[in-house]
Amino acid sequence: MPDKDIYKTAQRAAESIIPSSARTSTIPITLASSTSSRSNLSDLTSAQRTFLKSSGFNFAAGDFILLTDEKGDIARVVCGIDGPSSFSLTDNGADASSCFFAGTLASRLPQGDYNFASDMPNAALVAQAWTLGSYNYDRYKSDSAPVKRRLKPGKSVDIDRVRDITTSVFLGRDLINTPANDLGPDELEATARSLAKAHAAKISVITGDDLLKKNFPMIHAVGRASNRPPRLIDMQWGKKSNPAITLVGKGIVFDTGGLNIKPGSSMTLMKKDMGGAATALATAAMIMSAELPVRLRVLLPVAENSISSNAYRPGDVLESRNGMTVEIGNTDAEGRLVLADALALADEDKPDALFCFATLTGAARVALGPDLPPLYTSTDALADQILAAANAVHDPLWRMPFWAPYDQTLHSAVADVSHISNGPFAGSVTAALFLKRFVNNTDNFAHIDLYGWVPVAKPGCPKGGDPQGARAIFEWARQNYK
């Protein structure tokens, strides 16, 4: 069964891949291309070069071959770097995506301790790809015996930063991968408290009917049908005099669809519907670990969208925190309701930057697929900065518009607004426009409509949960608040 302290589990996993203590004996990995292999492989023995040539190895990016010594032990790994976006040993502007070949190595090499034979541009990103590719979720396997492939990075790599980012991503992945019977509102709150304690952050939680007393009516409405009470988690860290960054993450621990119940095939992955909260916590963990000079706030509206006699209904009109009345068109569009109350609270504080993470719409997947989350912001400068940061660390995002003409599709005849559009088109855009109505005081607002799941394993991204956008927003924060 999974460890109850998910944050500490993530820390231990990261430490096992890239330990603090030095190791004297490691297997070197040599990067080589078909055009520069002679110079790159000059430190191979004559027998190893002969074997490499006779093997027909073609130096394709990510492919590798094991070379042995006289005893038959693995003495070296040669990894190819040729490909459409080949990694460069000399170009400081090497494409970040090509660095992620190391994520494939980390999941395929035999057990052992490794190092890259020579330092290189983007060495930190190569090391990061290795650690992220080493992730393995085996909490429920009784016969689990994970292969340990440890990495000793080059001297130019900030090992602590790589390890902290690894811990944070693993935290997000573990949260998303944990099934809803072991990750309800209580457990998500416990994880937030563990993270807050580790970084001396303040945390407060409003639970159950107290949400009505404190004016969070839509969070309460979405979660009231569950026997696991809804709540709003509020974590704060950093000096009050620092620039304010607020992260809001959708924390629907399981989504049945409510009275508009989902078909079984659409409910299978709904443990990941708290992926926005997981991403917000992963981003927060990176920011606090790096001790960035910011005033950080994390708001997590947490609920289980269940079915019971007191479930909210299609056609209901709900009050919201900012006073706007909302007509319910479909109870399976619950995420934007809990986010609206949390965003309204965040906006009252007028932060310098406000980020919203949510597994919000299937329409985003239709538009951009599972790997490329839409980024919404009306601030061009902020969009450019975030996209540049996302590309730099290979955590891709794609800008989508707050297209104002579509705002009319949220018209309601009986309330201030309908929470879903009156047509089948542009579902991700209209959901983003709904959220934007609850942010009136904050200029730098960005919303990421993420999938939170990797359906097919890729270098650095094993199949399963993934806090998409977390590394991108942290890199943006790191570049702006060093």
Look over the chain and give the mean of its residue pLDDT values, rounded to a whole number. Answer: 92
Reply yes or no on whether the pLDDT at 210 is more than 80. Answer: yes
Q: What is the mean pLDDT of residues 63-75?
A: 91
Q: What is the mean pLDDT of residues 2-18?
A: 90
Predicted pLDDT at 34: 80
pLDDT-based confidence at residue 102 (cuts at 50, 70, 90) = confident
The model carries a pTM of 0.95
Predicted pLDDT at 95: 64
Predicted pLDDT at 335: 98
What is the fold, at CATH topology level, of the domain defined by 178-480?
Answer: Aminopeptidase (3.40.630)
Q: What is the mean pLDDT of residues 147-166?
A: 90
Q: Tens of pLDDT along 185-199?
A: 999 999 999 999 999
Predicted pLDDT at 1: 53
Supply φ then ψ for residue 356, to 5 degrees. -120, 125
Reply yes or no on whether the pLDDT at 347 is more than 60. Answer: yes
Q: What is the mean pLDDT of residues 278-286?
A: 98
Reply yes or no on whether the pLDDT at 92 is more than 80. Answer: no
pLDDT top residue among 29 and 438: 438
**Residues carrying an active site annotation:** 262, 336
Reply yes or no on whether the pLDDT at 354 is more than 50. Answer: yes
pLDDT over 70 percentage in the chain:
95
Q: What is the mean pLDDT of residues 60-84?
A: 87
Q: What is the mean pLDDT of residues 249-273?
A: 97
pLDDT top residue among 50 and 249: 249
Q: Tens of pLDDT along 326-337?
A: 999 999 999 999
Predicted pLDDT at 2: 57
pLDDT-based confidence at residue 91 (cuts at 50, 70, 90) = very low
Q: Tens of pLDDT along 128-140?
A: 999 999 999 999 9
Q: Tens of pLDDT along 378-403?
A: 999 999 999 999 999 999 999 999 99
- Residue 174: name the closest of 193, 161, 187, 160 by CA: 187
Predicted pLDDT at 84: 61
CATH superfamily of 6-162: Leucine Aminopeptidase, subunit E, domain 1 (3.40.220.10)
Q: Where along the chain do its domains lie? A: 6-162, 178-480
Predicted pLDDT at 213: 98
Q: Tens of pLDDT along 418-457?
A: 999 999 999 999 999 999 999 999 999 999 999 999 999 9
